[in-house]
Amino acid sequence: MVQPWQRVATQRITQSFSPNLEISFPPIDEEEGAEGPMIIEAEVGGHFIHRMYVDGGSASKIMYEHCFNKLLPEFKTRMVPATALLIGFSGEIIWPLGRISLLVKIGDAEHSTSAFMNFVVVRSASLYNGIIGRPGIRKIQAVPSTTYGMLKFLVEGGVLTIRSSKIVTIEYASIAGPIEQPPAINQARWQ
């Protein structure tokens, strides 16, 4: 059964190639730039996976159980027991279901980078299929910018730029007009 938090609409991710061998980001105005998390698509263990969250604040590479369950059986048998627990930023403790090493490829057939990453498989509600944290970013030698909503890395002959997709929950995207003011009795709780 699809939960309300799982219904999302995404904007297609785009990528571009530049023969320039320097990774740079041009200056932007205060009003410009991206908002929200950096979301990419990646080929993980031969599976094309949408909604991979690139999180420079995370020390882990995570695959959520709902994504893991869609892997082919020969990949799922590679999962081994996890040896450590995870602690979330709000202090919650998560006991992983296991861990699995998979090849992660980012880019297309012409320009891409790849590296093996050790994912911790967790059972948790999430809009994302997985998280690529600092160690994964370092493995693919990428330079992320949440300000620009871009992930850049060197490939043969230049720099590949992956632009983040935008995730909008359908519940919020379907709001057609301004939100009405709540009744006076509820205003104290909302301030």
Q: At 75, which helix (H) or strand (E)? A: helix 73-76
Phi, psi (deg, nearest 5) at residue 140: -90, 5
- The C-alpha torsion from 174 through 176 and 180 to 186, rounded to 10°, is 0
Q: Which two tokens stand for residue 111?
A: 């320009």
Is 74 in a helix, a strand, or coil? helix
- Averaged pLDDT score across all residues of the chain: 80
Domain ranges of the chain: 4-21+35-171
pLDDT in tens, 91-130: 888 889 999 999 999 998 899 999 999 999 999 888 899 9
Q: Strand 130-132 vs strand 93-94: parallel, antiparallel, or unpaired?
A: unpaired
Q: At 82, which helix (H) or strand (E)? A: none
Name the CATH code of domain 4-21+35-171 (choices 3.40.50.1820, 3.30.420.40, 1.10.1040.10, 2.40.70.10).
Answer: 2.40.70.10
Q: What is the pLDDT of residue 12?
A: 55
Give pTM, 2 decimals. 0.75
Q: What is the pLDDT of residue 166?
A: 67
pLDDT in tens, 142-174: 999 988 888 999 999 999 999 887 655 444 443
User: What is d(CA 41, CA 50) in angstroms, rounded to the nearest whole number?
Assistant: 5
